[in-house]
Structures are given as structure tokens and as C-alpha cells.
Chain A
Amino acid sequence: MAVTTDPPLAGAVDPAPTRRGLRRPRALGAWAAVAPLLVYCALFLGLPTWALLYEAVRRTDPATGVTSFTARNIAESWSGFYLTAMWGSLRLSLLTALICAVVGLMTAHTIAQSRGRMLRQAVLTASGVLANFGGIPLAFCFIAAAGTAGEATGLIRRIDPGFALDTFTGLVLVYPYFLIPLMVLTTMPALEGLRPQWREAAAGLGGSAWDYWRHVGGPILLPTLLGGFVLCFGSSFAAYATAQALAGGTVPLITLRIASVLSGNVLAGQENLGMAMSLDTIFICALMMAVYLPLRARSARWLDS
């Protein structure tokens, strides 16, 4: 770019005008840099979402062939068979997110406290990989380990004799595999951002360790924790490939239902209903993001100032 002047140097000569002069080209440059991404998003995210929305409210009468716009698809997606799937997804997501938030936080805390740089690096790298490890490969690993003939199945069945991988419980066991690393990745920066001075200041003012966590550490971490929980929830809610590979038709989940409706497995001509369910899913994920982003912004301000 032509206008990359070193800002402190330029500012030292004549701060105000230089700054104003620089800001505009720089902002333009920044926009130019993200433009390809924006175009990409518009094409491959915005357009499909719009199409989805359009299809979700459209209905063609099978008898007359007349197309009309209606909320019936969406209403139907929140009823009966489909509502059960929605409930299944919500329950599974809530439960796995809870488990993963707790276990992930404890893991991250242990690592943040430990002095071993190698351990920390190894766990972070592994988490980065595992958080993206899902779908068929993960399902295969679990089938090998805990499937009908799996090595670990016998062990688990001692605790729960009815255990099988293609059930709700099975999924609760599998999802943490990628969700705990996700939780570790989201909470680690916040845990490492807790300054030792805060703990010592609290102690110097007469506070116990409990006082510190109650009045300082806890409140500072809370946004990150909630954020991590929400992220796990969303991730679990939107997971498809892992669930499909493990529990194809046996566990009612919204993502599986969408897939079967869209592929015409159940009844032909139900694509619009599938679109409506997809819209519901997008709505729930958007809701999660709407909660997560402000929380993250808030704790980032505390931890970086």
C-alpha cells in the first residue's frame, strides 16, 4: 500500500492533522483487505441463508400446484415428530455443554497453573486439533473403542449394562471429545489473563482464597465461562456428521431430521419443512452468538486493560 507511514513518527511531527489524514486511506485499505472475505460470505453464507428463508416460508399445494407464502412450515417444524427432535437436540446440547464446560474449565485451570511450558503447548496444540476432530473419523474411533465389539464397551457396561454407542448416552460420551478441547481453547486465555497481583491484592486486603474466587476470579471469568458454555452448546447443537455416523436414525436430533427430510427419505416434497427446521437451527445458533460475543468483548476488556 502506498500510504503506510509509520504512525508514531508521523504523529510526532503534527499529531492531529496527520492522524486525520491517515485514517481514511487506512480504513479504505482495511476494507479492501477484507473485501474478498465479505464477498465470499455474501455468496456462500448470505445467499444460501436468504434462499433458506425464502424456501422456509414457501409452500406449494400438492393438489393445485399453487405456491403461497405461509408460516405453516415453521409452525409444523415446532410440532410432533419434529419437536421431539428439537427437544432431543436441546437436551443433548445442554447436557454435553454442561459437562464440557466443567471438565474443560478444570483442565484449563490445571494447565494454566502448571509451570511446564511443554505441557501447556502440547495441550493447546492437541486441543486445537481435537476441537476440529469430529464427523466420520471420530465416530469410527469410538466405534472401534466402544462399539458393539469395542475394547472399552465391556468396561462401560459394568457401570451401565444397557450401554450402546448409538443412543443418547453414547452421544453424550462422544461429543465431549471435541467439545472439551473447544472449552479449553476458549477459557485458557482468560485463565492466563488472571494476574497474580489480583490474588495478592485480595490477600493483602484480608481476603481468603475463597474470597478471591468469589469476588475477583469468579466474576472476571464468568463471561468467558458462559461464553465457552454457549459455544459448546451451539457446537453440539449443530453437530451432524458424528451423530449421523454413530446413531443414524435411532436418536431424534434436529440435524438428523433435517437431513432425512431433505434427502426425501421420509416423504417426498417436504423440502420446505426441512428448510424451516434449518432456519430454526440457524436461529438458535444466532441466539447463542448473540449471547457469546458481548460476553467475550466484556471479559476481553477486563483482561487486556
Chain B
Amino acid sequence: MPAAGLELSALRRCYGAVRALDGLELALAPGELVALLGPSGCGKTTALRIVAGFERPDAGAVRLDGADITPLSAAKRDMGMVFQSYSLFPHLTAAQNVAFGLRLRKTAAPARAARAEELLELVGIGGHGARYPHQLSGGQQQRVALARALAIRPKVLLLDEPLSALDAQVRLQLRDEIRRVQLDLGITTLFVTHDQEEALSIADRVAVMRSGRLEQCAAPAQLYQRPATAFVAQFVGTMNRVRGTMVDTDLVEVAGHRLPVDGERPVPGTKVEVLLRPEAVGLEAVPARAAADPAVGTVRTATFLGAITRIAVVLEDGTQVKADLPSHRASEFPAAGRARLVPAARPVLVIEP
């Protein structure tokens, strides 16, 4: 089946006074995996449930290949849904769970069984078909849930935090498997998560949500390197916040360096916080008895991460800054030693505190 495009337009949904969705816009190209990322309570589940048809929007529309499917019930949408946990039918075996949708479609029993086996194979648990859900681990249960959702050849696959109930190791493994299966089938997929690392590693594009709205939707690398807003910058990846001052309409002074400002530009003279990635912060060793300098701090910890070492420095005013250095340079910065920040000369985002 050729993959379908999915479009969420101007979706609104209120629960009493709570605005769960406040004009959400999002478009998925056919075959694309988009991760819907945002803090807890920002409306991700609500958005997904509206797409699935379990929930009605107050306003706005959901379109599948251009056709408005907003009035359709969940049963008529042909979407595969994977829930966070405990969604398998407990009285059916894994194979019967996978075949459930086909049984409703009156597929003949032998064809059903064959398809169930094929899908269990695809998600990596062939041979477990006769087991009941309570005889499977959490990770295996989620694999069965994925197979069950895919068995009906849905036009769109929807996953709501499918990994968040699993152990860290299983989570990583299953994340890669989900991506592999998705690429194999070329199915349009919306993957909800609150874990930014998960979103960046699995998705073609990441849609960052905040308070029921879309903040930015971009490829992982772009989201990381060129965040559109301070919210996205802080939510995605590790970010330092260092005090600085606007010295010109598009220049900020931080730690004695002048850097060009991206995004919003407060008027000159404003005290701001400058957002710096750890890899955009260099360090310089300084003698212990140097003169007082707001850009100089004390080395607290060094975390070895392989090729790089992340060094945490605490400035005079108590601000903690993390800097990533090549590991061979780490020995220049022993714990309790002194170091000066050297921000890389590239555009930065600033926020007014």
C-alpha cells in the first residue's frame, strides 16, 4: 500500500478550562516518521487521540491524503495504534492478539494465522505466538502490540510513548527496532514521546510542542543546531544559561566575548541569559591567583564520555557551565582548578530572564 500523507490543521481541544490543544498544525509526508515531543501535559496524547479518532476536536481537522477524516469513528480510520502499556487483550495469545483486526475483517483463519506469524517474525518474536500476554516481558508485549497494529495494514501508525514503561536497555533496543520496521514498511508514523533523546534518534523530523501549540518542526540536526525558540533550545539537548548583556542591536557580550545574536533581540543594555551548547564553550586554564573575573570559575567535575570529556565549571556568581572538550585536553583542568570560559564565535539565542 502506498504511504499516506497526514495533516493536522488548527486543532483545538479544551477540557473545561484547560486548553489541551490550542491551534496545533502539523503535516506528515507519506512514509515519514515524525516524533511529537514536548513536556508532560503539553497535549501530545490529546493530539494523537484526535488523529486516531478516540477524541473529537473542538475545532480543526485531520486529513488523510487530503481527505477530511475528522467525522470518521476510530473503527473506520485504518490507523494502527500502540499504547504506552497494558493494551494487549489478556485472554488471547500473542498470535490471537495480532490476528484480532483480521478476525474482525472476517479474514479466513489460515490466512490470519499466517499473517500473525509473519508479523511476529517482523517484530522479532517469531515463535512466541502461543504465549499469553502475562507470559511475556514488557518489551515483548510492546512488540506484540506493534505487530497487532500493523497487521491490518494501516495507513498511519500512531505510537503514544510506547517505550516509556520499559527498562533503559530494552527501550534503546526496541526504539531501533521500531524505526527499522517503520522504514521496512515505509509507513507514515506519528511517535509521541517526552524524551528528547528518543525523539532525536528515531525521527525524520521532530515536532516540538508547548502548551497545545507547535513550537518548531524540523529535522533532528537542525532542531539541535538552529532551534527557532529559546524553549526548543532548552528542551532539546543540553544547554547552558550564562549571564550576558546586549551591547548592540544584534550583539551580546558574554564572558568578555561579543557574539552575534540569533532570534529575538532585546534592546541594547538589557541584561540577558545567553544559551550556549556545551560543545560551543571552550575552556582556558588560568593561574590560581589571577585577578577576579566573572568569566573565570572553579572546575567541579569531569565526566568522561569517550572522545570528549564534559567539564562542569562553577562561576563566581554560582552559575554552572558545562563544556565539552576533546578528552586529551581534560588533564589541563583538574578538579578545583581554575578555568576561563571561551564561547565559540557563532550566533547564539538569548532570553530575557
Chain A residues close to B by CB (< 8 Å): 195, 197-198, 200-208, 211, 215-216, 219-220, 301-303, 305
Contact = CB atoms under 8 A, between A and B. Distances in A.
B152 A205 contact: yes
Interface residues of B, number: 29
Interface string B77-99: 11111010011111100000000
Nearest to B89: A216
B103 A215 contact: yes
A206 B133 contact: no
A303 B90 contact: yes
Contacts of B80: 204
A211 B79 CA distance: 18
Question: Which of A206, A207, A220: most chain B CB closer than 10 A?
Answer: A206
B148 A205 contact: yes
B81 A215 contact: no
B232 interface: no
B54 interface: yes
Nearest to B85: A197
Contact of B134 (A198, A201, A305): A305
Interface in B59-82: 73-81
Nearest to A301: B134
Nearest to B105: A206
Given A219-B91, A301-B90, 10 more contacts: A197-B86, A200-B81, A200-B83, A202-B89, A203-B74, A204-B52, A205-B101, A206-B76, A207-B100, A207-B104
B81 A202 contact: no
A207 B99 CA distance: 13
Interface of B: 52-54, 73-81, 83, 86-91, 100-101, 103-105, 133-134, 148-149, 152
A202 B90 contact: no
A211 B102 CA distance: 13
A215 B100 contact: yes
B91 A203 contact: no
Contact of A205 (B54, B91, B104, B134): B104
A195 B133 CA distance: 14
A204 B81 contact: yes
Question: Which of B75, B103, B133: most chain A CB closer than 10 A?
Answer: B75
A242 B133 CA distance: 45
A303 to B, nearest CB: 7
Nearest to B81: A204
A220 B90 contact: yes
A207 B78 CA distance: 11
A70 to B, nearest CB: 48
B74 A305 contact: no
Nearest to B100: A205
A202 B97 CA distance: 10
A203 B54 contact: yes
Contact of B104 (A211, A220, A303, A305): A211
A266 B157 CA distance: 76
A202 B103 CA distance: 11
B87 A305 contact: no
A207 B75 CA distance: 6
Nearest to A303: B90
Contacts of B133: 305
Contacts of A201: 81, 83, 87-89, 148
A302 B87 contact: no
A206 B134 contact: no
A195 B75 CA distance: 18
12 contacts: A197-B86, A198-B87, A200-B81, A200-B83, A201-B83, A204-B74, A204-B80, A206-B104, A215-B100, A215-B104, A216-B89, A220-B89
Nearest to B73: A203
Nearest to A199: B54
A300 B340 CA distance: 63
A206 B75 contact: yes
Contacts of B103: 215
Contacts of A197: 83, 86-87
Contacts of B101: 205-206
A165 to B, nearest CB: 43
Nearest to A201: B87
Contacts of B148: 201, 205
A219 B90 CA distance: 10
Nearest to B76: A206
A158 to B, nearest CB: 46
A85 to B, nearest CB: 40
Nearest to A219: B91
A208 B52 CA distance: 15
Which 6 pairs between the two chains have the least Cβ-Cβ distance? A305-B134, A205-B101, A302-B90, A197-B87, A203-B74, A204-B81
A220 B91 CA distance: 6
A203 B75 contact: yes
Contact of A200 (B74, B88, B91): B74
Given A204-B79, A207-B75, A198 B89 contact: yes
Contacts of A303: 90
B63 to A, nearest CB: 19
B182 to A, nearest CB: 18
A216 B97 CA distance: 10
A208 B104 CA distance: 9
Contacts of A203: 53-54, 73-75
A203 B52 CA distance: 10
Contacts of B79: 204
Contacts of A216: 89, 91
Contacts of A208: 75
A202 B152 CA distance: 12
A225 to B, nearest CB: 14
Contacts of A211: 104
